[in-house]
Chain A
Amino acid sequence: MLEIKNLHVELEEEGKQILKGVDLTVESGQVHAIMGPNGSGKSTLSYVLSGRDGYTVTDGEATLAGEDLLEMEPEERAAAGLFLAFQYPVEIPGVGNMTFLRTAVNAQRKLRGEEELSSGDFLRLIRAKAKTLKIDADMLKRPVNVGFSGGEKKRNEILQMAMLEPKMCILDETDSGLDVDAMKLVSEGVNALRSEGRSFLVITHYQRLLDHIKPDVVHIMADGRIIKTGGPDLALEVETQGYAHLLNEEA
């Protein structure tokens, strides 16, 4: 599904190298987790994959289902099936949540050459999906993320994910700022979306999210590279022993 080879990335302005040769393959239907200390390049990886400005790829490649991601505009990546759940979802005053989602869903369908959803179909779909995430009608009407609590913002991200039905979902520290109940709700939302044709890349500092979203593979990232890959046990190892010993191992 997602294939990253030898990816080298610099910050455009400072020329500072952040990713120093990332290799990663996520098979279809799998859930991979990336853990690592602050500044290891985890979030940069998610931004580069989704096409945010400010980064220069100096070497390597990234493909989604065989398509070259790095050549595409952000909206084309989305239409190709990539979705990034933001660590800090952005507030867009004056634009209703529902309007935004309908615009997004239909824009993607158009880019893929599919028919747009009628407003009736869209409404039925969003109501059903919002209900399972405990998002009420009021939240759907309100401007995008404006005045939402931390938990509401993250639930809204998952709602967008559910509506857009991406092939490859990247969750960037989705657990940050969430209490236990909210984390459970968000995790249930994610787990409901797990399927054979859909893969996940879960970026997190902490193992606790992985209690709820069980990964198939865990990667440890440090200083711009994946330094260790293992099963779910690797996350537990980090939880009990911290990153330090893994970093030492590497050295």
Chain B
Amino acid sequence: MALPQQKLDATGARLAAMSLPEGGAWISEARTSARARVEAMGLPHRRDEYWKYTRPETLVEPGAREASTFETYEPTVFGEIDRLKIVFVDGVYDAEASDELSLAGVEIEPLSEAGAKDIHWARDLYGVLETRGQSPVERPLAALNTAYAADGMVIRVTGKAEKPVSLVYLQESTSSDAIFHHVVKIEAGADLTLLENGPAAARLNKVMEVEIADGGAFHHVRTQGRAHERRAATHIFARLGKESVFKSFTLTVNGALTRNEAVIELTGDDAVAHVAGAALGDGATGDFHHDDTVFITHDAENCESRQVYKKVLRNGAVGVFQGKILVKDGAQKTDGYQISQSLLLDDDSQFLAKPELEIYADDVVCSHGSTSGAIDEEGLFYLRSRGVPKDIATDLMVIAFVAEALEEIEDEAIAADVLSRLESWLQRRRG
């Protein structure tokens, strides 16, 4: 089917402004075919059903809108965690600022180096999971990423990683337009915790492809930068083998526009996938539009998936949730759970939710729920009746509200660090 003219024009304009990065044979092939996918699909348009609640224009247009960098004297998140730190500045790997890429149980290489080689194991994953994720719903921004990403990290985990790998995304330029792409391969029985933090750029397009072999485990915790004007479209594509575990949590505070997509396929029996997010937006300190779009496919027996998304919105902030559980024929004993909730602190804020279940197996348990509401008055009164002033009591109720999402972080020290970020965001707004 021919694409509408507007879409052709917008896609053409963007692609005309870019050129494919240099690389070895395998990656050049992947990039060329990704660009062909973008041309065939066209970049997202506001009339697309999948972009009904989030306007894609600023993510699609040729240049990035200006975004001020964020200055803070507060200690950075994960700073106290023993970790292997890898720094990107405006989307470019900064070897000087990073730790040496050496960690027991893990092989790490910049994408630029892996891509320069004629042959590399990443060939079986780079753009491969993304391509699988293009059906049944198209994700053109992810294909655009595969085509044009010049940087990223290629990580292969062969044992239990000695400590977390921490990707730090700094923004220095107010007009940086970053595209980067990570590939993570967890071998059978291996285990990695991956941390991400920072705004990355004025505009970010990031893809992470994760393959977890049988019995492997991947824990992912990210906090997206506090820069108020930044824009981001991120995708995680994950494929899970037998008895493997995938857990991902994202904290988002601030940001003019964030679209986080997670596309997860459970392909081996007894696999577990949990995705969770807490987003806090205050329209008084800048635009806030946050979109979590999740697609989980159960294609094996006895697997468990959980989606837990909480949004705290005030002063005209907008939250979006599109979440789907697809249970394929034969994926018996599936246990699927999905909850998306918003706490609307005033009448100006908005939460748009589209929960979906599509089930072709007959012996499954799937539950989903979505709510929007104000602060629980009962809880607020309970706290105040003990002498806690109203503003602090309100913040405690906000923490109570997002608790179910925070509980998805397994590591206690990391969870405490994330919680303290959330608390200080609330505190700053208390004055």
Chain A contacts of B381 at CB under 8 A?
Answer: 51-53, 74
B134 CB → nearest A CB, Å: 37
Query: With A53-B381, A74-B381 known to touch, is A160 a contact of B396 (CB < 8 Å)?
Result: no
Contact, CB under 8 Å: A89 / B382: yes
Chain A contacts of B392 at CB under 8 A?
Answer: 103, 107
* Closest partner residue, chain B, to A79 (CB atom): B387
B402 at the A interface (CB under 8 A): yes
| A-B CB pair tally, cutoff 8 Å | 82
Contact, CB under 8 Å: B400 / A93: yes
Contact of A164 (CB < 8 Å), options: B386, B402, B406: B386
1/0 per position for B399-428, CB-CB distance to A under 8 A? 111111011000000000000000000000
Contact of A93 (CB < 8 Å), options: B383, B388, B389, B404: B404
Contact of B388 (CB < 8 Å), options: A53, A86, A94, A103: A103
Contact of B385 (CB < 8 Å), options: A84, A100, A101, A111: A84
Of A50, A78, A101, most B-chain CB atoms within 10 Å: A78
Chain B contacts of A104 at CB under 8 A?
Answer: 383, 386-388
Contact of A75 (CB < 8 Å), options: B378, B389, B404, B406: B389
Within B83-99, the residues touching A (CB, 8 Å) are none
Contact, CB under 8 Å: A78 / B387: yes
Chain B contacts of A164 at CB under 8 A?
Answer: 386-387
Contact, CB under 8 Å: B379 / A74: no
Chain B contacts of A94 at CB under 8 A?
Answer: 399-404, 406-407
Contact, CB under 8 Å: A93 / B403: yes
A73 at the B interface (CB under 8 A): yes
A219 CB → nearest B CB, Å: 23
Chain B contacts of A51 at CB under 8 A?
Answer: 381, 384-385
B108 at the A interface (CB under 8 A): no
Cα distance, A103 to B404, chains bound together (Å): 22
Contact of A100 (CB < 8 Å), options: B377, B383, B404: B383
Contact, CB under 8 Å: B403 / A103: no
Cα distance, A164 to B400, chains bound together (Å): 22
A92 at the B interface (CB under 8 A): yes
Contact of A50 (CB < 8 Å), options: B378, B385, B389: B385
Cα distance, A101 to B399, chains bound together (Å): 16
B373 CB → nearest A CB, Å: 15
Cα distance, A92 to B393, chains bound together (Å): 11
B14 at the A interface (CB under 8 A): no
Contact of A92 (CB < 8 Å), options: B377, B389, B396, B406: B396
Contact, CB under 8 Å: A92 / B387: no
| Number of A interface residues in the complex (CB < 8 A) | 31
* Closest partner residue, chain A, to B382 (CB atom): A90
A123 at the B interface (CB under 8 A): no
Contact, CB under 8 Å: B387 / A111: yes
A224 at the B interface (CB under 8 A): no
* Closest partner residue, chain A, to B376 (CB atom): A90
Chain A contacts of B401 at CB under 8 A?
Answer: 94
A215 at the B interface (CB under 8 A): no
1/0 per position for A70-108, CB-CB distance to B under 8 A? 000111011100011010011111110000110111011
Query: With A53-B377, A100-B396 known to touch, is A86 a contact of B384 (CB < 8 Å)?
Result: no
Chain B contacts of A103 at CB under 8 A?
Answer: 388, 392, 396
Of A51, A86, A93, most B-chain CB atoms within 10 Å: A93
Contact, CB under 8 Å: A78 / B385: yes
* Closest partner residue, chain A, to B379 (CB atom): A90
B364 at the A interface (CB under 8 A): no
Of A77, A86, A94, A103, most B-chain CB atoms within 10 Å: A94
Cα distance, A248 to B390, chains bound together (Å): 45
Chain B contacts of A78 at CB under 8 A?
Answer: 384-387
Contact, CB under 8 Å: A75 / B390: yes
Chain B contacts of A77 at CB under 8 A?
Answer: 385
Of B389, B393, B399, most A-chain CB atoms within 10 Å: B389
* Closest partner residue, chain A, to B378 (CB atom): A90
B188 at the A interface (CB under 8 A): no
B128 at the A interface (CB under 8 A): no
A143 at the B interface (CB under 8 A): yes
A117 CB → nearest B CB, Å: 13
Chain B contacts of A83 at CB under 8 A?
Answer: 385-386
Contact of B387 (CB < 8 Å), options: A90, A91, A95, A108: A108
A251 CB → nearest B CB, Å: 36
Chain B contacts of A95 at CB under 8 A?
Answer: 396, 399-400, 403
* Closest partner residue, chain A, to B399 (CB atom): A94
1/0 per position for A98-126, CB-CB distance to B under 8 A? 00110111011001000000000000000
B397 at the A interface (CB under 8 A): yes
Contact, CB under 8 Å: A74 / B385: yes
Of B377, B378, B385, most A-chain CB atoms within 10 Å: B385
* Closest partner residue, chain B, to A106 (CB atom): B387
Cα distance, A108 to B386, chains bound together (Å): 8
Within B355-390, the residues touching A (CB, 8 Å) are 377-379, 381-390
Chain A contacts of B407 at CB under 8 A?
Answer: 94
B380 CB → nearest A CB, Å: 9
* Closest partner residue, chain B, to A78 (CB atom): B387
Cα distance, A126 to B201, chains bound together (Å): 48
Chain A contacts of B377 at CB under 8 A?
Answer: 53
Cα distance, A123 to B145, chains bound together (Å): 53
Contact, CB under 8 Å: B400 / A92: yes
A243 CB → nearest B CB, Å: 29
Cα distance, A77 to B390, chains bound together (Å): 13
A192 CB → nearest B CB, Å: 20
1/0 per position for A127-161, CB-CB distance to B under 8 A? 00000000000000001000000000000000010
Chain B contacts of A92 at CB under 8 A?
Answer: 379, 382-383, 396-397, 400
Other A-B pairs beyond A53-B381, A73-B390, A100-B386, 7, CB < 8 Å = A51-B381, A52-B385, A78-B386, A79-B387, A90-B382, A107-B392, A160-B386
Interface residues, chain B, CB within 8 Å of chain A? 377-379, 381-390, 392-393, 396-397, 399-404, 406-407
Top 3 nearest A-B pairs (CB, nearest first) are: A94-B403, A78-B387, A108-B387
A-B contact pairs, 22 of them (CB 8 A): A51-B384, A52-B385, A53-B377, A53-B381, A75-B384, A75-B388, A75-B390, A78-B385, A90-B378, A92-B383, A94-B399, A94-B406, A94-B407, A95-B396, A95-B403, A100-B383, A100-B396, A101-B386, A103-B388, A107-B388, A111-B389, A143-B403
